[in-house]
Amino acid sequence: MSTANKLPETGFLRITQIVGSKAKNIPPLIPVGRTTFLNRVKQGLWPKPVKLGPNTVAWRVEDIRALIKEIGGAA
């Protein structure tokens, strides 16, 4: 079973849950670096985050699942 299949149907993901974190032992859903991911969001190529609080942004699970499918992963 792929990591994408373990995602909840709805909800939000923080950036470390998407691109992974070696320090926190979190495997990436999308194997790119944080900067690459954020640059592609800024360029409008990938989904924009949702602002949850003054210093908190996250991405909708549905948007990330669709992105994984679009770029060729198993969603």
| CA-based nearest residue to 67, from 49, 51, 35, 45 | 45
Instruction: Return d(Cα 2, Cα 4) in angstroms, integer.
Output: 5
Q: Does residue 14 register a pLDDT over 60?
A: yes
Which whole-number Å values give the CA distances from 22 to 15, 17, 28, 41, 72, in the listed order?
A: 13, 11, 9, 22, 23
Question: What's the rounded mean pLDDT across residues 5-21?
Answer: 92
Cβ(46)–Cβ(67) below 8 Å: yes
Which has more confidence, 1 or 23?
A: 23
What pTM value is reported for the model? Answer: 0.85
The pLDDT of residue 2: 56
Residue 8's pLDDT band, with cuts at 50, 70 and 90, is confident
Owner of token pair 């948007």: 63
